[in-house]
Structure 1
Amino acid sequence: MAPALVENAVNCNKEIVRLLANFSPSLWGDHFMKYASDTQLKQEYSKDIEVLKNEVGSMLKPSGSNIVDALNLIDILERLGVSYHLENEIEKKLEQLFNLNTNYEDETYDLYTVALHFRVFRQHGYRISSDIFSKFRDGDGKFQEGLKSDPRGWLSLYEAAHLRIHGEEILEDALTFATSNLKSMAQNLSSPLRKQVEHALVQPLHFNIPRLEARNFISIYEEFESKNETLLRFAKLDFNLLQILHKEELLEVSRWYTELDCANKFPYARDRLVECYFWAMGLYHEPQYSRARIILTKTFVFVSITDDTYDSYGTIEELDVLTEAIDRWDISQIDKLPDYAKLFYKDLLELYAQFEQELAKEGRSYAVYYAIEALKELAKGYNVEAKWFKEGYLPPFDEYLKNGLITSTFYYDTMTSLLGIESVTEEEFKLLSQKPKIVVANLKNCRLIDDIATYEIEKERGQIATGIECYMKDNGVTKEEAMNKFDEMVTNTWKDMNEECLMPFSNSREVLMRIIGLSRTTNVTYKNYEDGYTMPEKVLEPHIIALYMDSIKIPQML
């Protein structure tokens, strides 16, 4: 949150003092409202992509293909952002390759190859053992000295180590050694390997948003001596075609936002529509998720307004009434609300009524129930935090975290992220409503990262009940010690999530990837512990420009 300003408001002849956060205006103005889609260009891209898709698909078909070549191809397809075109073919290929019982002790499997295989299989849920790295350690259990001259191998190991689970000490050591070695050798490497290393040290692959990774890797892959021109052109065309779709969606949600008049109705709240869309795209960028992205963007907008209403604008008395109204979910409650909250409440109920009407057509109106129940829980959590803030109460850390997992918003976000996905069943919503291990790990991950990133700003505006302050008081430690502990807890949440994403899955992979997407987007948005949502110019601005404003230049075919 930004430093607070004080506003005096008169309500029923009684002066109310409101704290207003001094949020910066939207960076984007009406830029995305002006977009005009090029139908002819879309058709040309689509036609070329279909041809290239068939060519690339044929590369995956040979049943007797070398496992090294096959996994390299799959990795490149995924990093270029085009693997979704061949999802079924890739899954069949991986199952076939995993069942080969490959002997990784063979000398032909170097550090780069073993780490790549480990990472690709783990990314798809296969329980490949970390023991395959034992061959690279000496008698003292340290990684062999001779490996220090293998930067490509260390980079591969570094990326693989981020998929570790609890108890994999060999990967703990691997990450430490790989990070140290890569930092020391980065300046002496030639491009494109140097670019890969520098990028990975800032943003590990496993923690990155796939669309951002694709945008970056396309430019790096172009410099590879061994690049496949067919793959490169396929990736460029596909990126630009998807960008057109994303800009069309931004136009749609911008019109909705403008017609709803959010900026004028709720001037105290952050105007972050484009950033909300960026968050939605962090969970799914593929064309089949277009409806899901639009629905999720709209819910993000409303939860952001809700957050700012509770965080500073509303009084305790007003927020009690608003919380009860949300819990009752009945338009008859509107007369009890202050004027600004009446507008919000009416728009909120109408939005969910629209969702329910749309999903009822496919027999999925039950999904809206779970989203609404999650929102009710969130409002209650926000209300607790508002009272802590306004009453100057500093809770014990356990009490803070229990409520903070709710107000991280990510349980609600998980539920709403699934509204627009037709394949998600009621059973899966029921399972998620019990908050299984991966959901709790995700909530904790996002809560702790947010707490570190917003600590100084919240302290500046007089917020006492922050996670860092609660932990410092409970444990008698310094701010730095508390932040280091939070970092350690974040690392452990990733180990929990990595474990839950291994077969047999406790949830469908469709659901698991949405949860992982939330943590990845958090990692990107709060990079270097900056609040990139509230202040997008610090983190998100270049990402948004790269994804939605700058297309990739594609040379004409001769």
Structure 2
Amino acid sequence: MTHVTVTTNSSHEVIAGLCKPRPYTPSPWGDFFLNHNPCTQSQYLAMKDMASIKKERVRKIILDAGSSSDLAMKIELVDTLERTGVAYHYGQEIEELLHGMHSEENVFGDNLCVTAMRFYLLRKHGYNISPDVFLKFKDDQGNFASNDVNSLLALYNAPYLRIHGEEMLDDDVTFTKTQLQSMVEHLEPRLAEEVLCTLETPHFRRVERVETRRYIAVYEKKATRDEDILEFAKFDFNILQTLYCEELKALTIWWKDLKSQANPQFARDRIVEVHFWILGVLYEPQYSYPRIMLTKLVLFMSLLDDLYDNYSTTEESNIFTAAMQRWDAHVVEQLPAYLKAIHQHT
């Protein structure tokens, strides 16, 4: 009769040859967020007060733009608000501006940059706009005659909001990419950096909060910047960063409590990475609770993935699966101690 050697390891019976746990690299963040405070309470309250003032000043800018006939200025304003990360404060006002842009046809003449930005913003917000708006800018070979970098950048971003069957926009991406690549080494450093960044990741595919941090620095160097928008963007960014740090503190406390009871040493510790992942989908302050709950959910999914793939034996996995599916106390009693603790927290 063949015998199987059984050893005990942290209340977990490891069957030799069947269970080979792999150690994961510890989180580089550790307990950093338990004691990290981006600012003092008085600084935070002062930022909130200043942000409130700037917010209303920016609102006035938007309302004034709404009564203006300068549609190019409206498009640039909406684009700036979105890229500086403060557009979520002005949902209704921006929607009214976009509605006005959509109702205007053939108002841009031969301005390719404005036409492309209008197409991008309207498509991004769900408006129906035809790609035929670009036809008048093409020559007999179907290429764009423009050598203006800003126009080509806008034109490169716009087709990424194409829908099925718009092959013309596929060709536009190829053409503008080739043009921009050939021009980049001849541009001034600031513009060359923007071109390279766009070629690497078009606007529509960027993580909004990462783009906000990057673009605030870009916008600050623009001669045409509006100081109220710039300052409000900075205040708002720092206020949200403070909120995110508070969320990570709460998540760290929860994870440490889970580890103290379930001791999941076999699982990856990636709280910050998962929170950042969720942040890419829900970054607004009103979604703080959903962010925390989704982060916990993904962490549990990761824990279970590591449990099945990396630690538990086949027999233990089957019992644990049955316990989860049936929610039967008798099945739970058959689990080893470490799996009982995990089951209690699911």
Note the alpha carbon deviations across 1:293-314, whole angstroms, 9 max, x for none.
1111111111110111122323
Q: C-alpha separation between the residues in 2 aligned to 1:75 and 1:85?
A: 14
Matched, 1:26 2:54: no
Q: C-alpha separation between the residues in 2 aligned to 1:256 and 1:231?
A: 37
Change (3 A) 1:138 1:290: same
Which residue type is aligned with residue 88 of structure 1? Answer: Q
Of the three residues 55, 58, 62, the one matched with 1:56 is: 58
Shift of 1:245: 1.0
Aligned to 2:79: 75
Point out where structure 2 has 5 or more consecutive residues left out of the alignment: 1-5
Aligned to 1:167: 165
2:27 alignment partner, SS class: coil
Q: C-alpha separation between the residues in 2 aligned to 1:12 and 1:173?
A: 60
Aligned to 1:294: 292
Overall identity of the aligned pairs, in %: 36
Matched, 1:239 2:237: yes
Q: TM-score, normalised by structure 2?
A: 0.90
Equivalences for 1:36-435 in 2 at 5 Å?
Answer: 36=37, 38-62=40-64, 63-65=66-68, 66-100=70-104, 102-103=105-106, 106-108=108-110, 110-140=111-141, 142-144=142-144, 146-147=145-146, 149-261=147-259, 265-348=263-346
Q: C-alpha separation between the residues in 2 aligned to 1:122 and 1:209?
A: 18
Aligned to 2:3: none
Which residue type is aligned with residue 182 of structure 1? Answer: L
Shift of 1:183: 2.0
Note the alpha carbon deviations across 1:124-158, whole angstroms, 9 max, x for none.
11111111111222223x213x32x2111111111
How many residues matched?
335
Which residue type is aligned with residue 32 of structure 1? Answer: F
Q: C-alpha separation between the residues in 1 aligned to 2:139 and 2:333?
A: 74
Question: Would you say the 8 A contact 2:84–2:233 is kept in 1?
Answer: yes
Q: C-alpha separation between the residues in 2 aligned to 1:136 and 1:319?
A: 63
Shift of 1:323: 2.3
Which residue type is aligned with residue 231 of structure 2? Answer: R
Q: Which has the higher contact order (CA 8 A, sep 6+)?
A: 2
Shift of 1:263: 10
Shift of 1:195: 2.0
Q: C-alpha separation between the residues in 1 aligned to 2:310 and 2:274?
A: 21
Point out where structure 1 has 5 or more consecutive residues left out of the alignment: 1-7, 349-558
Question: Would you say the 8 A contact 2:116–2:158 is kept in 1?
Answer: yes
Question: Would you say the 8 A contact 2:262–2:338 is kept in 1?
Answer: no
Q: C-alpha separation between the residues in 2 aligned to 1:85 and 1:44?
A: 19
Which residue type is aligned with residue 74 of structure 1? Answer: V
2:161 alignment partner, SS class: coil
Considering only CA atoms, is the larger Rg found in Structure 1 or Structure 2? Answer: 2
Shift of 1:261: 1.6
Shift of 1:14: 5.2
Q: C-alpha separation between the residues in 1 aligned to 2:255 and 2:14?
A: 33
Question: Would you say the 8 A contact 1:272–1:301 is kept in 2?
Answer: yes
Question: Would you say the 8 A contact 2:262–2:339 is kept in 1?
Answer: no
Which residue type is aligned with residue 143 of structure 1? Answer: N
Note the alpha carbon deviations across 1:52-75, whole angstroms, 9 max, x for none.
111111122144322211111011
Change (3 A) 1:83 1:14: closer
Question: Would you say the 8 A contact 1:269–1:305 is kept in 2?
Answer: yes
1:159 alignment partner, SS class: helix
Question: Would you say the 8 A contact 1:9–1:18 is kept in 2?
Answer: no
Shift of 1:341: 2.1
2:18 alignment partner, SS class: strand
Note the alpha carbon deviations across 1:88-114, whole angstroms, 9 max, x for none.
2111221233123x216x524x22111
Q: TM-score, normalised by structure 1?
A: 0.57
Question: Would you say the 8 A contact 2:219–2:230 is kept in 1?
Answer: yes
Aligned to 2:36: 35
Q: C-alpha separation between the residues in 2 aligned to 1:165 and 1:229?
A: 37
Q: C-alpha separation between the residues in 1 aligned to 2:32 and 2:52?
A: 31
Change (3 A) 1:18 1:132: same
Change (3 A) 1:152 1:313: same
Q: C-alpha separation between the residues in 2 aligned to 1:12 and 1:282?
A: 40
Change (3 A) 1:79 1:329: farther
The root-mean-square deviation of aligned C-alpha atoms, in Å, is 2.1
Note the alpha carbon deviations across 1:209-259, whole angstroms, 9 max, x for none.
110010010111112121111111111111111111111111111111112
Change (3 A) 1:280 1:332: farther
Which residue type is aligned with residue 301 of structure 2? Answer: V
Question: Would you say the 8 A contact 2:323–2:331 is kept in 1?
Answer: yes
Change (3 A) 1:278 1:159: same
Change (3 A) 1:171 1:21: farther
